[in-house]
Amino acid sequence: MDWDFFVQQLVNGLTLGSVYALIALGYTMVYGILKLLNFAHGEVYMMGAFAGFGVLSLFGGAAGVTINVVLLIGLMLAVAMLGAGLLGVAIERFAYRPLRNAPRIAPLISALGVSFFLQSSALILFGADFRSYETYEYIDLATGIHWGPLNISVVRIAVILTAVAMMLGLTLLVARTRLGKAMRATSFDREAAAMQGIDVDRVIVATFFIGSALAGAAGVMVGLVFYKVYHLMGFLAGLKGFTAAVVGGIGSIPGAMLGGLLIGLSEAFITGYVSSTFQDVFVFSILIALLLVRPSGLLGKADIQKV
């Protein structure tokens, strides 16, 4: 057994997994509250990646960064999260809210429209070329942990730690704050929550903002680790983020994190050991198999439908 290769895939899987987990959180939070599948979520992630790239270009571009690198990455994350969050709020306001009492299929079609609209807007605004974060220009990738077969660059460590910190923060927010309590109540029963004096619209806006901001952060992280950003990157990442949310049990926040890690790890190992062309086919098979065996996901509760 080639340990170097195995550890390499493990690290890859953890990085990918934390990114998928961040995307999955947005899906799962929105689904938990609105019972709505936000197809445009992958596109929000893509826009976040472009926002980070914009900040990078603003401060001299990859080859000639003019400010402190830590500050730069902090700014990229902040701008991407804010931009993506506002984008998510706008999508909710203009594409989903008018349809809140419409038949189930209407917001899904609207979401499909938003997704394609954002994708082609990105194509108009940024062109079809790949953009690259070129992280190696301003961060020495040789620094990091080197311990036997274990080689992790500092960027990956930072990405994984940031993702974990964000997930912890979200868990605390949902468990400990007033807003979190309101979110849990709204997710449990929207009408009952409204009757208790919870401003449901505000909770929904906050949910969209937080979920989209996490997706924006994920976009910047992918750019930092894998360099390439382009207008189609949101589609597959969104699908896998959704798969992660379903695997973990949609509506469950720890489930989304677990699901993201599982999907990231299995994708990395399948790419490494089985096939690098058809890894998406395998991820898809995982989804199908799981839906057949346990439709409510690993950590989800079985849904009892009341009439």
Partner 1 sequence: MSEVEGTPEGPKIGADEWVARSEERTGRRGGPFAPLVARAEQLPWWVLLVAAVGVSALLPFVSSSEYVIRVAVNTVLFALLALGLNVVVGWAGLLDLGFVAFYGFGAYLYALLSSSQFDLHFPALLSVSIVIVSSALLGLLLGLPSRRLVGDYLAIVTLFFAQIYVVLATNADRITFPWNDGPTDISGGPNGITDIDPISILGYEFGSIRSYLWLSLGVFAVVVVALQFINHSRTGRAWRALREDSLAAEMMSMPVNRLKLLAFVFGAATAGLTGTIFASVQLGVFPQNFDLPLLITVYAMVILGGAGSIPGVVIGAITINVSLELLREPSNARFLFYVAIGLGLVTLVRPWRRLAAILVGLVVFGIVAYQLTEWLRPAWVSGTIEGGRFASVLDGWVIHPVNSVHLGNAGFVLLIVALLALTEVRGIWRSILLVPTLYLAAFVWENRLVVEPSVTRILLLGALLVVLMSWRPQGLLGSSRVEIV
Q: Provide, rounded to whole angstroms, the least separation between the CB of residue 90 and partner 1.
A: 7
Q: Which stretch binds partner 1 (CB under 8 A): 46-54, 130-138, 167-175, 233-241?
A: 233-241
Cβ partners under 8 Å of residue 68, min gap 6: none
Position 98 contacts partner 1 (CB under 8 A): yes
Q: Which of 71, 112, 172, 192 binds partner 1 (CB under 8 A)?
A: 112
Position 278 contacts partner 1 (CB under 8 A): yes
Contact set for partner 1, span 191-230 (CB under 8 A): none
**Cβ proximity to partner 1, 39 vs 138, nearer residue:** 39
Q: Which stretch binds partner 1 (CB under 8 A): 7-15, 99-107, 159-167, 257-265?
A: 99-107
Position 175 contacts partner 1 (CB under 8 A): no
Position 105 contacts partner 1 (CB under 8 A): yes
**Cβ proximity to partner 1, 28 vs 162, nearer residue:** 28
Position 242 contacts partner 1 (CB under 8 A): yes
Position 295 contacts partner 1 (CB under 8 A): yes
| 3-class SS letters over the chain | CCHHHHHHHHHHHHHHHHHHHHHHHHHHHHHHHHCCCCCCHHHHHHHHHHHHHHHHHHCCCCCCCCCCHHHHHHHHHHHHHHHHHHHHHHHHHHHHHHHCCCCCHHHHHHHHHHHHHHHHHHHHHHCCCCEECCHHHCCCCCCEEEECCEEEEHHHHHHHHHHHHHHHHHHHHHHHCHHHHHHHHHHHCHHHHHHCCCCHHHHHHHHHHHHHHHHHHHHHHHHHHHCEECCCHHHHHHHHHHHHHHHHCCCCHHHHHHHHHHHHHHHHHHHHHCCCCCHHHHHHHHHHHHHHHCCCCCCCCCCCCCC
Q: Which stretch binds partner 1 (CB under 8 A): 6-14, 167-175, 203-211, 238-246?
A: 238-246
Position 114 contacts partner 1 (CB under 8 A): yes
Q: Which stretch binds partner 1 (CB under 8 A): 12-20, 73-81, 157-165, 281-289?
A: 281-289
**Cβ proximity to partner 1, 136 vs 284, nearer residue:** 284
Give whole-number Cα distances, 48 to 39, 64, 221, in Å. 16, 22, 10
**Cβ proximity to partner 1, 1 vs 105, nearer residue:** 105
Binding residues (CB under 8 A) for partner 1: these are 31, 35-37, 39, 90, 94-95, 98-99, 101-110, 112-121, 123-125, 235-236, 239, 242-243, 246, 277-278, 280-281, 284, 287-288, 291-292, 295, 305, 307
